[in-house]
A and B are shown apart, each in its own frame.
Chain A
């Protein structure tokens, strides 16, 4: 449960898993941000494929990382989001940010 972070030539891949709520989002955020600060990647991929549940805390997590990547001049993309995850994200109306990727864009 939580997040596994991998480095690729493209940047960072954060593979999220389990249930994302206000409680777990804090730990996930700290881990991802520490890696971003350390490696200053050009791209951050957030992989939601193994996410079993997400409430609006997940949207805060996404928006916060999006802003952080912008500060460092990098990009953030989301992959593997289920219809359920998308349903929550859609309430924020952030599709226009172009953060959704249908395919992974990186080899696993």
Chain B
């Protein structure tokens, strides 16, 4: 099925861009008229993925983070967050709840949030090449009451 709309943004891995990423994805997904909770779920999941890139993919430098998103008429939203950073050597381990290499102040819940706040999560990573996180969410399409309003 062909996407009804798509977008792509690239920005440097500065932590001040975490809120930028949330705002952009929210503005884009709003076109499908999601419920408030659905929109917060997506904002939160994207925030986690972008934060991972900033902390883990580029620990000692500023690199590029790219987000692409596609909307489908069925209410399906597909979001890819990719980096060209150091990669994850053990994806399964990284996805375990509470596991972190980020130190004391990190909860180790990034992937758990992505998993429970979206309908599908896929992580593909190659050491030294980068990581692509794909998030999918189905927005409940509202019945339009066009005639009445």
Q: Which residues of A contact B (CB under 8 A)?
A: 19, 21-23, 25-26, 29, 53, 55-57, 59-61, 63-64, 67, 84, 88, 91-92
Contacts and interface: CB of A to CB of B under 8 A. Distances in A.
B40 A84 contact: yes
A21 B107 contact: no
Main secondary structure of the interface of B (DSSP, over half): helix
A29 to B, nearest CB: 7
Interface size class of B (residues with CB under 8 A): 20 to 34
A92 B105 contact: no
Contacts of A53: 22, 40, 43-44, 47
A67 B44 CA distance: 25
Contacts of A26: 15
B19 A22 contact: no
B51 interface: yes
B44 A22 contact: no
A57 B37 CA distance: 19
Contact of B51 (A55, A59, A91): A55
Nearest to A68: B104
Contacts of B113: 55-56, 88, 91
